């Protein structure tokens, strides 16, 4: 570089400041590739909104769900064929609904437990506000590590629900996994190792799925959350939902029934915006995509009445998003919902804790 050349952090290179860019490799090979690099990536007609720089939680080393406000930097180019205002408006509302607040900080929670798709507030498990009594896990597929973790770490029984996975592919649904085992493997810290399927307390498989109505569709039995919560007391249930779009009718019922809602101590779920269900309530089947998404976003916002969001996988998904691989040469079509900076928020995992467990009044 010539005298006076300023070296700056790479995140500022896309902010209109001149900076040197270096590439490592064989000079002859790099020279042959140079014409390809000059081709505009994505959609050059749409600018990418710029934002203040942010930092990944724990320097981005954790591949699990993460607490706190997610760091979601914009991509270097606009990856889609167009931009639709209502999609980005809904995307912004989704992000606001699942961004943890200071009321559920690490200090207020007594620390977090992070593993896989979960960010758990420790106060939900440390006995300071009693203990949960059961885990209900909807959507098992081949393996349900959430249920295994609940049984091994807290010695709680779990009920497992899935009506799709063939039994020969799912040992827990077939009832052949180690049940109430005292020999599940642990790591050097004494935490569950989760290398092999193992349940440290009783598990009970149910050949049924979750929906907003009790119904049989194509020989599959769908049950309601209301039925499964019967008999359980306040703040007694740890709940996991991963049901590929069937969650919306269920969540809408939950937020409309506070006494039933208060039975749920923690909620971990994978959310799917724009998805429907074979057992969807009939009044919602004819909604347009925009109407469907607007309803779903409103339901997510409603969860904040009695729950605090403790974390999500949004940040780790953003860290792994490389739009140049899929949308660099030719722009991609727009996802159902995305942020103004282009990052899709169509599907991700999110965790919640009941407000009373962090000493916050529901009033």
The pLDDT confidence band at residue 9, using thresholds 50, 70 and 90, is: very low
DSSP track, 273-330: TT---TT--GGGTT--HHHHHHHHHHHHHHGGGTEEEEEESHHHHHHT--HHHHHSSS
The pLDDT confidence band at residue 39, using thresholds 50, 70 and 90, is: low
Q: Is the pLDDT of residue 88 over 60?
A: yes
Q: Is the pLDDT of residue 2 over 90?
A: no
DSSP conformational letter for 49: P
The pLDDT confidence band at residue 62, using thresholds 50, 70 and 90, is: confident
Q: Is the pLDDT of residue 14 over 80?
A: no
160: helix, coil or strand? strand
Name the phi and psi angles at 250, rounded to 5. -70, -45
Amino acid 100: pLDDT: 97
Angle at alpha carbon of residue 282, lines to 281 and 288, rounded to 5°? 100
CA distances from 344 to 119, 191, 231, 314 (A): 21, 34, 39, 9
The pLDDT confidence band at residue 20, using thresholds 50, 70 and 90, is: low
Q: Are strands 215-217 and 209-210 parallel, antiparallel or unpaired?
A: unpaired
* Separation between Cα atoms, residue 152 and residue 300, nearest integer Å: 30
For the chain, which residues make up each domain, given as ranges? 85-358
Amino acid 61: pLDDT: 87
| CB 299 within 8 Å of CB 248 | yes
Rounded average pLDDT over 59-87: 94
The pLDDT confidence band at residue 10, using thresholds 50, 70 and 90, is: very low
CA distances from 52 to 8, 15, 72, 196, 294 (A): 16, 11, 10, 43, 28
Q: Is the pLDDT of residue 142 over 80?
A: yes
Of residues 26 and 116, more confidence is placed in 116
Poorest-pLDDT segment among 188-197, 231-240, 300-309, 320-329: 320-329
118 strand-pairing partners: 115
Rounded average pLDDT over 118-143: 97
Angle at alpha carbon of residue 24, lines to 22 and 28, rounded to 5°? 105
| CB 101 within 8 Å of CB 353 | no
Q: Is the pLDDT of residue 4 over 70?
A: no
Q: Is the pLDDT of residue 69 over 90?
A: yes
Amino acid 15: pLDDT: 45
| Mean predicted lDDT score pLDDT of the chain | 91
Q: Is the pLDDT of residue 323 over 70?
A: yes
What CATH number has the domain spanning 85-358? 3.40.50
Angle at alpha carbon of residue 161, lines to 156 and 164, rounded to 5°? 150
Of residues 88 and 27, more confidence is placed in 88
pTM of the model: 0.87
**Helix-strand-coil split of the chain, %, nearest 5:** 30, 20, 50
Cβ–Cβ contacts within 10 Å for residue 185, how many? 12
The pLDDT confidence band at residue 325, using thresholds 50, 70 and 90, is: confident
pLDDT tens by residue, 96-123: 999 999 999 999 999 999 999 999 999 9
pLDDT tens by residue, 186-224: 999 999 999 999 999 999 999 999 999 999 999 999 999
Amino acid 63: pLDDT: 87
Q: Is the pLDDT of residue 13 over 60?
A: no
Half-sphere exposure of 354 (CA within 13 A, CB side): 25
Q: Report how many helices (DSSP H) and strands (DSSP E) the chain contains, helices first.
A: 11, 12
pLDDT tens by residue, 220-249: 999 999 999 999 999 999 999 999 889 999
Nearest Cα to 113, choosing from 306, 353, 303?
Answer: 353
Of residues 13 and 262, more confidence is placed in 262
Cβ–Cβ contacts within 10 Å for residue 76, how many? 14
């Amino acid at each position: 570089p010539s005298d006076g050349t300023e070296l700056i952090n790479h995140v500022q290179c896309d902010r209109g400041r001149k900076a040197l860019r270096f590439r490592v490799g064989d000079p002859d090979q790099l020279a042959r590739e140079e014409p390809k690099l000059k081709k505009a990536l994505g959609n050059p007609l749409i600018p990418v909104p710029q934002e203040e720089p942010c930092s990944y939680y724990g320097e981005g080393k954790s591949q699990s769900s993460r607490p706190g406000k997610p760091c979601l930097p914009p991509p270097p180019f606009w990856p889609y064929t167009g931009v639709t205002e209502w999609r980005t408006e809904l995307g912004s509302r989704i992000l606001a609904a699942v961004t943890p607040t200071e009321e559920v900080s690490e200090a207020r929670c007594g620390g977090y437990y992070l593993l896989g798709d979960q960010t758990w507030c420790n106060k939900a498990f440390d006995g300071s506000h009693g203990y949960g009594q059961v885990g209900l896990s909807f959507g098992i597929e081949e393996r349900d590590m959430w249920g295994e973790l609940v049984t091994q770490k807290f010695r709680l029984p779990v009920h497992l629900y899935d009506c799709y996975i063939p039994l020969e592919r799912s040992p827990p649904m077939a009832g052949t996994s180690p049940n109430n085992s005292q020999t599940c493997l642990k790591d050097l810290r004494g935490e569950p190792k989760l290398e092999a399927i193992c349940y440290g307390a009783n598990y009970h498989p149910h050949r049924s799925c979750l929906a907003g109505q009790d119904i049989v569709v194509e020989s599959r039995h769908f049950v309601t959350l209301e039925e499964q919560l019967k008999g359980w007391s306040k703040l007694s249930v740890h709940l996991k939902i991963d049901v590929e779009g069937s969650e919306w009718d269920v969540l809408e019922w939950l937020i409309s029934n506070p006494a039933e809602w208060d039975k749920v101590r923690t909620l971990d779920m994978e959310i799917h915006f724009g998805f429907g269900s074979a057992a969807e309530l009939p009044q919602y089947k004819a909604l347009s995509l925009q109407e469907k998404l607007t309803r779903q976003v409103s339901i997510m916002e409603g969860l904040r009445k009695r729950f605090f969001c403790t974390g999500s996988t949004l940040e780790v998904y953003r860290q792994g998003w490389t739009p140049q691989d899929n949308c660099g040469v030719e722009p991609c079509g727009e996802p159902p919902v995305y942020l103004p900076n282009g990052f899709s928020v169509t599907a991700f995992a999110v965790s919640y804790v009941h407000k009373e467990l962090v000493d916050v009044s529901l009033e």
